[in-house]
Amino acid sequence: MTKYVYFFGSGSSEGSADMKNLLGGKGANLAEMTNLGIPVPAGFTITTESCVYYYKNGQKLPEGLEDQVEENLKKLEKAMGMKFNDRNNPLLVSVRSGARVSMPGMMDTVLNLGINDEIVAGFIEKTGNPRFGWDSYRRFIQMYSNVVMDMDSELLEHILEEKKKEKGVKADNDLTADDLKSLIPVFKAKVKEYTGKDFPTDPMEQLWGAIKAVFNSWENDRAIRYRKLNNIPSDWGTAVNVQAMVYGNMGEDCATGVAFTRDPSTGEKIFYGEFLQNAQGEDVVAGIRTPHPLRKDRKTDENLISLEELMPEVYQQLVDVYKRLENHYKDMQDIEFTIQNNVLYMLQTRNGKRTAAAALKIAVDMVNEGAINKTTAVKRVAPSQLDQLLHPTFDVKDKATHKVLAKGLPASPGAAVGKVVFNAHDAEEWAELGEKVILVRVETSPEDIGGMNVAQGILTARGGMTSHAAVVARGMGKCCVAGCGDVSINYKSKTFTVGDVLIKEGDIISLDGSTGEVFNGEVKRITPDLGGDFEIIMKWADELRTLGVRTNADTPNDAAVARKFGAEGIGLCRTEHMFFEGDRIKAMREMILSSDVAGREKALAKLLPMQKADFKGIFEAMNGLPVTIRLLDPPLHEFLPHEKKAIEELATDMGVSVEKLESKIESLKELNPMLGHRGCRLAITYPEIARMQARAIIEAACEIKKEKQVKVLPEIMIPLIGDVKELKMLKEEILAVAKKVISECGVDLDYTIGTMIEIPRAALLADEIAAEAEFFSFGTNDLTQMTFGFSRDDAGVFLPDYVEKRILEDDPFQTLDKNGVGKLVEMGVKLGRQTNPKLKVGICGEHGGDPRSVDFCHKTGLNYVSCSPYRVPIARLAAAHAAIDSKK
């Protein structure tokens, strides 16, 4: 017979802290505390397995569970010296959920269970407190009818409110025992009226109702959403904890509180918590009354009285307990306690949630205290949490005073404040005059790069987390709120509206890129300090990780920022971004509009010195580190204007007719540009482009080496390869140019030529391709698009449905799809190394900065990941986690 129920109480438990998967976090820790001899009200835990069984079998409880619950109820009665369903010495219980990981407030709880008209009398006799008795009873009916019987909680709350009005009182506490007693039949009648059922009076029936309700709450909307947000698998299930009630609200010698063993905001080693006298636990959380500090030295107001002063003995006991707990768990604890008639009961302990700064400090401090080792310390900081530290954030208090104007997708973190402008040109002009601007667009295109670059933040009305705006903004480490559908933009009048609110060009708005919120006016900001703890943890992480971390950077400035964040090279330098600035776009357009090789070569010759200068800057910034440069990738039409006026201007500029220009633009239009004439296909058609770029790279490398003794390690990367013959053909072009330039310069230069693997066919035929490649870099953005057949620009319409309906666990553009895309990556690595054992393999898609994807990259044996500069520390830490996890 499977054991479905685990008992704890009387100083020993059937469970322990390492049984979290089976007993849930709460249940395992209650068992552990009991084992440690810490005072915990006795109880028992119904396993998560029971919940899993329940869902796998059409919401049926497993056989044997009933007997085991009854048996444990007996043990519980014995441990507490009270009896369930006994008028004379009644035992009341709480029924609480508890999954493997904490899902605060997401699932249901029932308190004071086991009470009815008869038992309440005995309860009153025993406590000698009629008001308390009736209050517990009415609270139970309210909670139970809501949680178990699916009644809207407002229905009974309304009756309570009416009663208070009738009695002319304000607080629940002001109602007398008789008032409360008089509510019971009214409540019951309302339940009958609303549900068509009598409120259950049998305590056992109540108990099973509550147990099932907790199981059911695993699949309520809130819980589902929470799991999705926190990547908690839906097949874990929840445990149910049935525990003897203790009361913090039985009189003045009672209290209830919560505490952290260290400060969860700063990490400071200070016992930190609050309590309420004569109150139930829920009251502290609900914030109806202002709680008091536990410690005397934490009083902010003379009128407050600390627990230390109020109940010095119990306080000392609590201090002993918290120290034992932290010492035992070797981590900062978040504890809940209740004091009933001057007796301390612990109701919960768990590892406390903390800010990124606190996580760093606690981890470092605990290593210094000798409590944990460096490996544990590194694992204590979640990589994704670091994001908070790397961008300025809004002052929480000031933010609270601003109403949210609109909400979009949190596309790129940061807190931006600036004046609204509606096009890239204005953004650049205003910025030149020293203005801080927010660029507001329906969506952005590569033409907007300049404006995005000078803006504080970007707000778009359309596009998803991987839209152009989002991707480029993250690359720049720039705040971006994307796909903000509430915003209705009128370019002509240079205004946008949200409902009735009209925002004009020049008005100040604030964007929170971590939440997607948009505020009218300026919200104050704070720049977190990357203190010594950050450096220490990152140093330890670097010692532990084996996976390299590079950055995606297109400018010397990006490269320098990334290097400061610990990047060990550039994994992706996109050369096309270099073609949008100033005169360059002109030369680029001239190239595109040329009808023959000679014309194209003439235009390319103008681009050569500019591109070379960029490369020199980047090589210098990355002195001694490898720099992977990708040849031109986007379709040519991205470099041409699409609006009538811009076309006319360009035509005049170029000295061609508007018709000719329009017809060229038309001829470059594609139905599916994603699958069109781009990447290496451009170089196959126009090898002169690849030749110019190869020359720019090699000349830059030779010159900077000669001029400044910079150590240059260029890696030339050919994008969008689908067949080895493409690579071979272009490699030959590049080798010929490189050979020529190197001999012209008279410099020794090592460089490599490799390819992106971003087309499924390339991964499938990686063995052939590796014969010609010195390195692979998985372009998992495009690889994901083609493997799924999802256009990331269009998937916004249906992807949310997919995640909502749980067809996909994650947005595959955010977290690498291990099953499908990952299979291709694994094949690519395996086949590639089969042919070329020295093949260097990296990844340069957006996934390179996503911790779970980094874990996959480590497991798959990649040499490095490459991500945007601001995600480099996150990737470093994630790589360390991956190394630690895979050693287990």
List interacting residues with its own copies (CB under 8 A).
670-677, 681, 684-685, 720, 722-723, 725-726, 729, 758-761, 764-765, 768, 782, 785-791, 793-795, 797-798, 801-802, 805-808, 817, 819-821, 823-824
Tokens read off for 769: 């391709």
Q: By the 8 A CB rule, do 10 and 31 touch?
A: no
Q: Which is nearer to its own copies, 425 or 823 (CB)?
A: 823
Minimum gap (Å) between residue 791 Cβ and its own copies: 4
Minimum gap (Å) between residue 245 Cβ and its own copies: 43
Tokens read off for 878: 């994630």
Q: 193: left (phi > 0), else alpha (psi -120 to 50), else beta?
A: alpha
What 3-state DSSP class applies to 250?
Answer: coil
Minimum gap (Å) between residue 878 Cβ and its own copies: 25
Q: Which is nearer to its own copies, 377 or 717 (CB)?
A: 717
Residue 504 to residue 520: CA distance in whole angstroms:
11
Does 844 participate in catalysis according to the annotation?
yes
What 3-state DSSP class applies to 511?
Answer: strand
DSSP string of 656-686? Answer: --HHHHHHHHHHH--SSGGGSS-THHHHHH-
Residue 559 to residue 572: CA distance in whole angstroms:
11
- The one catalytic residue in 468, 637, 847, 858 is 468
Q: Which is nearer to its own copies, 224 or 764 (CB)?
A: 764
Residue 513 to residue 831: CA distance in whole angstroms:
40
Measured in degrees and rounded to the nearest 5, phi and psi for residue 272 equal: -140, 115
Q: Which is nearer to its own copies, 581 or 801 (CB)?
A: 801
Token look-up 């002319």 returns: 168
Q: Which residues are within 8 A (CB) of 127 and not within 5 positions of it... i.e. 6 or more apart?
A: 133, 250
Minimum gap (Å) between residue 720 Cβ and its own copies: 7
- List the alpha helices (DSSP H) in 148-253: 153-167, 177-195, 203-217, 221-230
Tokens read off for 237: 């299930």
Q: By the 8 A CB rule, do 6 and 31 touch?
A: yes
Minimum gap (Å) between residue 669 Cβ and its own copies: 9
Closest alpha carbon to 558 in 872, 781, 325: 872
Q: Letter for the amino acid at 756?
A: M
Minimum gap (Å) between residue 232 Cβ and its own copies: 18
Q: How many C-beta neighbours within 10 Å does residue 753 have?
A: 20
Minimum gap (Å) between residue 726 Cβ and its own copies: 6
Q: Which is nearer to its own copies, 300 or 672 (CB)?
A: 672
Q: Which is nearer to its own copies, 75 or 792 (CB)?
A: 792
Closest alpha carbon to 213 in 339, 96, 80, 41: 96
Which sign does the torsion angle of CA 293, 297, 298, 299 carry? positive
Q: Which is nearer to its own copies, 741 or 843 (CB)?
A: 843
What 3-state DSSP class applies to 749?
Answer: coil
Q: Which is nearer to its own copies, 154 or 670 (CB)?
A: 670
Does 468 participate in catalysis according to the annotation?
yes
Q: Which is nearer to its own copies, 244 or 831 (CB)?
A: 831
- The one catalytic residue in 680, 844, 857, 867 is 844
Minimum gap (Å) between residue 150 Cβ and its own copies: 24
Residue 16 to residue 865: CA distance in whole angstroms:
39
Q: By the 8 A CB rule, do 539 and 835 touch?
A: no
Q: Over 492-508, what HEC string results?
A: CCCEEEECCEEEECCCE
Minimum gap (Å) between residue 728 Cβ and its own copies: 9
Q: Which residues are within 8 A (CB) of 79 and not within 5 positions of it... i.e. 6 or more apart?
A: 9, 10, 42, 244
User: What are the catalytic residues?
Assistant: 468, 844
